[in-house]
Structure 1
């Protein structure tokens, strides 16, 4: 349609993450938006990226497609392709400087779409791009956790995130968020700003491979013991200590007759207490297992064969593990925080993340249900939930509606 704006989609985060074979949630969001636009909106798409010298300019769409064609299989466990990604990302980043001089000024309606928080602390580069091309700015804000819960953030991160939100408030025409809970957190920053009336909650989709186990790093003891999964970076906000203390007590009381706990995720920051327990607590050895580098298919295999997902986090912007469990039909015990109710509705058991006895009771009840139903009972998968194509399409509709409003008012980018 002629009235649709041109979309400048930023892929800076994907280029910066080329050396990481395991994606984060935000990595996956940027990948899926880029993929969708290539497949469905290529006629009005230009990929752009940020160069560390402080400029944003175009990168070749075909080269980005080739990059994504390698990145996807790497994330799915193809170790043989890993070495190619950093070289491809370096070449793409180098072309940004050249295109900064040669990229023509875009003179039609356009939107600059940034679905990560990458370079929001460099607002001058964003403002220059908007001003040059007359574009509207639509970013995605994933959460405000570093500001709301500074005790769980790395040193300096609350201040950096406050600068990001200040840039969003000053420059954005509209904002995509993954949940209404994030929209409520963002609202005070947007009061009186152009984007205040154009904040749209679009839940993330999921990327689930259901057919196989992947590259083979998943090695579980085959002794028939049931297990629970806790999925997420090992950091204080995820509340692993609650589970580790519960497991120590259960092992001391029941020995090897109880369930195992499997932690899946990278080791994060300020987690010394958790690591001390994992490495030095005798009761946890062999009863709590840790996996730091599982591919997406391996995580799916692990979840599907588990007794349930345990998610005692203190704060989340969305909660991808919760959505994954819902789609796979895996039972969930999670924190009673607003965003989890928004994602799971009545399909989870909600508990105070500080109430250890309640968590133990819920875990024991889940084990009883598992025994009554039979080991690895067949579970129904709700594959219609959190479909990436549908979710990205909703995000792009929001972009188009925002652009139509501002262009209808005769307002353009900076």
Structure 2
């Protein structure tokens, strides 16, 4: 089976969520392919992306995903006769395709919060907002595939609730990166003995992330420090500093993955009082590292963390402070860490690659797609 994997979303500067998902899944697919009699080809738009793919990976250079050529991508790919094409996004042009197609929609959060990623060109950001004003464009896009992939059972249920697609939906789960490998002593460098000293937040500062509750909670947690790791605008930083009062809050302005791992490993708890989430990858990463979490009581966080977190009302700073303090108790902390480690172990890139390859094999067995037919 010839599987084309759309790796054009892998960033060459630093990973965002889609980039890391693409790179990790691509590596796992490449490793599993020989035993499955699969010949993978990775679509790229920048030669520098080859360095972020496994050694020996076969690549095909084509236009970028925001190019005007994207609506005609299928006609270009037809020339190379793939059996199945998988994209970690849903925007790959499908008109005139003669191959089986798996498109991915990670979540529906942009229907609830329509601010597009800031690194997109201005015309694309405008189109993004217009696209998400109604479910109709998304339905047309997804129904042009043979199968729709998503990253969580929560997303699959949300798709069904709004009848987002007529196509079968398969969950190809996200999985955490291996932060322990970035610590000098590996997993042995994770310090969870004694009271919680540091509260770590990794994520954006968009309004729905509700970082304000975490900042206000620090007034109730003397002797501890809230570390806001991500890049932040001067205006947003000033807003949060005004709320901090006597609480201890450190703005890091962006960190490396190694610094992120070190922060979590230092008597820390991962915290999020977000009002909405598409997935919650930092939560998964903390659990995989053996670090407890205090997070919003919402469906997706329960799916990601199971019993490996303490769940709170995201608007109640007292509840957040009490949850952090509860983790000072040795038995409570050890139980939460053990539950989280066991739960997150179910999510691996090897398992996700297997699901993708099983899905692709099922589609390939149906034969090439005939023009004008969707069967």
Scaled to the shorter chain, the TM-score interval is 0.7 to 0.9
In the alignment, does 2:53 pair up with 1:68? yes
In structure 2, do the counterparts of structure 1 residues 144 and 334 end up closer, same or farther at CA, with 3 Å as the change threshold? same
The corresponding residue for 1:48 is 43
The partner residue of 1:304 within 265, 269, 274 is 265
The corresponding residue for 1:219 is none
Q: 273-282 vs 382-391, which deviates more?
A: 273-282
The secondary structure found in structure 2 opposite 1:400 is helix
For residues 305-344 of structure 1, give each alpha carbon's deviation from its aligned partner in whole angstroms, at most 9, with x where no partner exists. Answer: 2331112111112211111122122111111111111111
Q: Superposed, which structure 2 residues align to 1:135-146 within 5 Å? A: 135-146=99-110
Q: Is the 8 A contact 2:200 2:227 kept in 1?
A: yes
The partner residue of 1:267 within 206, 218, 232 is 232
Q: Is the 8 A contact 1:10 1:49 kept in 2?
A: yes
In the alignment, does 2:177 pair up with 1:207? yes
Aligned residue pairs total 338
Q: Is the 8 A contact 2:201 2:272 kept in 1?
A: yes
In the alignment, does 2:335 pair up with 1:369? no
In the alignment, does 2:229 pair up with 1:237? no
In structure 2, do the counterparts of structure 1 residues 306 and 37 end up closer, same or farther at CA, with 3 Å as the change threshold? same
Q: Is the 8 A contact 1:233 1:264 kept in 2?
A: no
In structure 2, do the counterparts of structure 1 residues 291 and 398 end up closer, same or farther at CA, with 3 Å as the change threshold? farther
For residues 185-228 of structure 1, give each alpha carbon's deviation from its aligned partner in whole angstroms, at most 9, with x where no partner exists. Answer: 222565673x1xx21123212221424448xxxxxxxxx98111
Provide TM-score, normalisation by structure 2. Answer: 0.75
Over the aligned positions, Cα root-mean-square deviation in angstroms equals: 4.0
Q: Superposed, which structure 2 residues align to 1:6-405 within 5 Å? A: 6-14=2-10, 17-18=11-12, 20-21=13-14, 23-41=15-33, 43-49=38-44, 65-68=50-53, 105-107=79-81, 110-117=83-90, 120=91, 126-128=93-95, 131-132=96-97, 134-150=98-114, 157-161=128-132, 162=135, 165-187=138-160, 190=163, 193=166, 195=167, 198-213=168-183, 226-247=197-218, 249-250=219-220, 254=222, 258-267=223-232, 272=235, 275-278=238-241, 283-284=246-247, 287-366=248-327, 368-369=328-329, 384-404=345-365
**Between Structure 1 and Structure 2, which shows a larger proportion of helix residues?**
1
In structure 2, do the counterparts of structure 1 residues 300 and 281 end up closer, same or farther at CA, with 3 Å as the change threshold? closer
Q: 234-243 vs 143-152, which deviates more?
A: 143-152
- Partner Cα distance (2:369, 2:351) in 1: 29
In structure 2, do the counterparts of structure 1 residues 281 and 331 end up closer, same or farther at CA, with 3 Å as the change threshold? closer
In structure 2, do the counterparts of structure 1 residues 334 and 169 end up closer, same or farther at CA, with 3 Å as the change threshold? same
Q: Is the 8 A contact 2:87 2:103 kept in 1?
A: yes
How far has the Cα of 1:273 moved from its partner?
5.1
Q: Is the 8 A contact 2:284 2:304 kept in 1?
A: yes
In structure 1, stretches of 5+ residues that fail to align are 51-58, 71-88, 215-223
The secondary structure found in structure 1 opposite 2:53 is helix
